[in-house]
Amino acid sequence: MRILALSALALFVSLSVIFGVAVVVRATVLILPYSMTEFRIVVEVLRVVLALVLAYFWLRGAKAIADWYFWRSVMLRDRDET
Partner 1 sequence: MLDIVAFGAVLSTSVVAFAVTYLTIPPLASWLGHRGIVGIDVHKPNGPKIPQMCGLSIIAGLTAGLISLELAGGSSPDIVAFLGSVMIAGTIGVIDDVRPLSSKLKPALTVLAAVPILLLGTYDPHPIFPFVGAFRLTILYPMLVLAAIPVTANAVNMLDVFNGSMSGTLTIVSFTLALVFALSGKATAMGLALTLFGSLLAFYLFNRYPARVFGGDTGSLACGAAVGALAIIGRVELVAVVALVPYIMNAFYGLASVGRLYERREIKPRPVKLRSDGLLEATTERKAPVTLTRLVLAEGPMSERQIVSVMQVLTALSCALAIFAFLLVEVW
Per-residue mark of binding to partner 1, 53-72 (x: CB under 8 A): ------xx-xx--xx-xx--
Q: Which of 48, 53, 57, 61 binds partner 1 (CB under 8 A)?
A: 48
Q: Do the Cβ atoms of 27 and 50 come closer than 8 Å?
A: yes
Residues 1, 30, 38, 79: which binds partner 1 (CB under 8 A)? 1
37 binds partner 1 (CB under 8 A): no
CB of 37 to partner 1, least distance (A): 13
Contacts of 29 (CB under 8 A, 6+ apart): 47
